[in-house]
Copies of this chain bind each other. A is one copy, B any other.
Amino acid sequence: MATQEERKRATRRKIMDAAGDLFAHRGIEATTTEALLSAAGVSRGAMYHHFDSREDLVAAVYEEEAAAAIARAAAREPGGLSARERLLAGCLAWLDEVSRPGVARILIEDGPAALGWRRCRRIEEQYSLGRLTAALRWAVDTGEIRVASVELTARLMNAVLAEAALIVIAVNDQAEVRADVEATLRALLSGLASPSKT
């Protein structure tokens, strides 16, 4: 047979994959461990050997999804813009990634409900919120925008993007809303512009 390391990774992967799939399609809350175990083809004992609790498994899936989304968004960001344009582009790229129903369900709808917003934020800090904070700080450092607090502004913008994603996925004509969101984000951001450099 395989080494312990390989067995471990394979089993963990089976659990995470089945969980990611069920969470995205049926919702996190609605997915019982029982359903998950039979979907993954894994025993209850195996699951609790890999994860201390159901919540820890949810957190692991959440984190993986967050990392994947930010990676995809980062891969499409254009270069050679002003810091402010880059900030906006980054926000929109993330919004588009997270506007897919399965992703939104895990990262925005069910995730925070299942894990609590504190735990989600701790995870997000390393991903979307972290990138957003960095982009914002960069724009502040170049003098293009001025804010009372970078951390505060980043969290407020993050909240806006999450809400925007919920709106986009809930609506029929996504393109129209998407355009309105972009216009609104642009307007709001213009309010942060430094007086000298509008």
Contacts and interface: CB of A to CB of B under 8 A. Distances in A.
A152 to B, nearest CB: 5
Interface residues of A, number: 37
Interface stretch (A8-16, A69-77, A183-191): A183-191
Interface string A150-169: 00110110111011101100
Q: List the 6 closest pairs (A to B, CB-CB), nearest first.
A: A191-B191, A159-B163, A113-B113, A148-B180, A148-B183, A190-B191
15 contacts: A113-B113, A113-B116, A118-B170, A149-B180, A155-B163, A156-B164, A156-B181, A156-B184, A159-B159, A159-B163, A160-B160, A187-B192, A188-B192, A191-B191, A191-B192
Interface of A: 109, 112-114, 116-118, 146-149, 152-153, 155-156, 158-160, 162-164, 166-167, 170, 177, 179-181, 183-184, 187-193
